A and B are shown apart, each in its own frame.
Chain A
Amino acid sequence: MSTAETSGHDPNSIQQDPKRPEETLAPELPPDPLLKSGTFIAVPQDATTAEPPPQLRRSSDDATPACLAAEKSNGEAAPVAAAPAPESAASMAETPPRRAPAAVPDWLPAGWTVEDRVRSSGLTAGTVDRYYFHSVSGSRFRSKKEVLYFLETGTKRQKRKPSENSDADTMEGSGGQKQKKSATKAKTFALKFDFSNVPEKVQWVLTDFSKGSWAPFTGDKKVPQTTVQEWEDAFTAFSSKNNGQKLF
């Protein structure tokens, strides 16, 4: 038990936000049994952990008093920084995932939070993964693209091709850079599509109600499948292009 300068408001401490679900896919997970709500683990600054000093989550409500469990049990008002030795802190906490600062980007509406998590083990240790959390639904997203798709449609994007997975990998580093890539990809799609010759009208007919598929007709003729595919590609390209890059 070292009483030290690690006061309750040390910004360099990893704070366990009680409202923060460990995994957002199951937002109602019980809290960590080892940590009481409102408790945090103070990490001394000279700790050997090589990670950058994590800061408090941007959007967390600061109302949570950073009280220490030990403080309560002691009953003493002493300037308790009952910060256990680093080793015991680590073992006691099973260290929550490293959560690094995350600036909330401009395009993100209210009700969302961003987290940059540093991978702590494995070959890719040190890699920063950016996550977007939607607080209402508890959904987690890996990219701006996914978030914007969700904002537009209200549903999570289905992975269509294996190549989509590569999006996640390009998120490494500063997180904001992958848009350029996806935009170029979208552009090549769109270029196959003749934007100038817009038909007078298209009639969409619900053909298979169980699958919910619609077939377009121009005039009285059904549009051939290859053309429909081109349209779909262009539409998909448009949707992904909507990621703030206004090419339309």
Chain B
Amino acid sequence: MDGQDFADRSQLKPAVVLTGTAKEGSAAPPVGLVDIGVSDGAYLFRVALPGVRKDQCKVKCEIQRDGKVRIEGVITGVGVPKDSSAVFQMKVQQLCPPGPFSISFNLPGPVDPRLSSPTFRPDGILEVVVVKRRTPPTDGGLPPQ
């Protein structure tokens, strides 16, 4: 298993695809920065989602068994401060503008998408541990690469 190698390489060249508003807010604390970590049995990834409000974001995290991850959500309420009814017209808009976004990337290897524990941390980081796919010796499946 060359998980470590992958981690090294991915630090050089993160293959992350951003769409929607995540792609546009370039001067902002960027939505969609990704960390990927590897342990013996699992992968960890963290995705920066600054400005994504937990209560309105409709965050979904789709994990495929080949290790593909796609995170979707919506950035809302830019002109409406939290706990306020007043609406502001934005004069400067550097944070991610409102709208839907998606973030896609690949984990270093196949995973079992059932064995996952997503957490949306209060600091705006989505943190997910997902267990590597276990290939039973009997069925001669894919090597756990």
Pick from B59, B113, B118 the residue with the most CB of A within 10 Å.
Answer: B113
The answer to whether B63 touches A202, judged by C-beta atoms less than 8 angstroms apart, is yes
B120 interface neighbour in A152, A203, A209, Cβ under 8 Å: A209
A234 in contact (CB, < 8 A):
yes
Residues of A within 8 A of B117 (CB): 235
Which of chain A's residues have a CB closer than 8 A to the CB of B141?
A: 196
**How many interface residues does B have (CB within 8 Å)?**
34
A195 vs B120: C-alpha distance when bound (angstroms): 27
B65 interface hit (Cβ, 8 Å): yes
Which of B3-11, B83-91, B129-137 interfaces with chain A?
Answer: B129-137
Choose among B40, B54, B131 the residue that contacts A206 (Cβ–Cβ < 8 A): B54
In the complex, whether B115 has a CB less than 8 A from a CB of chain A is yes
Q: Closest B-chain residue to A236, C-beta based?
A: B117
Does chain B have a CB within 8 A of A47?
A: no
**Contacts A200-B65, A209-B120, A246-B41 given: A195-B136 contact, CB under 8 Å?**
yes
Q: Tell me the interface secondary structure of chain B in the complex.
A: strand
| Bound-state Cα–Cα, A231 to B42, Å | 15
CB <8 Å contact, A201 and B131: no
A112 on the interface (CB 8 Å rule)? Answer: no
Check A75 for interface membership: any CB of B closer than 8 A. no
- List chain A residues, Cβ under 8 A from B57: 206, 209
Asked if A238 and B42 sit within 8 Å, CB to CB, the answer is: yes
User: Which residues of A are found within 8 Å of B60, using beta-carbon distances?
Assistant: 203-206
Is A212's CB within 8 Å of the partner chain B? Answer: yes
**CB-CB contacts of A184-225 with B at 8 A, as 1s and 0s?**
000000000001101111111110011010101000000000
**Assembled-state Cα–Cα distance A229/B79 (Å):** 40
Contacting residue for B119 out of A203, A212, A242, CB 8 A: A212
Measured between C-beta atoms, what is the minimum distance from B113 to chain A in Å?
4
Which B residues from 25 to 64 make CB contacts under 8 A with A? 39-42, 54-55, 57-64
Contact A196 B41 (CB under 8 A): no
In the complex, B24 has a CB within 8 A of chain A:
no
Are A196 and B132 closer than 8 Å at their CB atoms? no
- Cβ contacts under 8 Å, A234 to chain B: 114-115
The 0/1 profile, CB within 8 Å of A marked 1, for residues 76-101 of chain B is: 00000000000000000000000000
B59 to A199, Cβ gap below 8 A?
no
B114 cross-chain contacts in A, Cβ below 8 A: 198-199, 202, 216, 231, 234
With both beta carbons as reference points, the residue of chain A lying nearest to B59 in the complex is identified as A206
Q: Which residue of A lies closest to B121 (CB)?
A: A212
Are B132's CB and A248's CB within 8 A?
yes
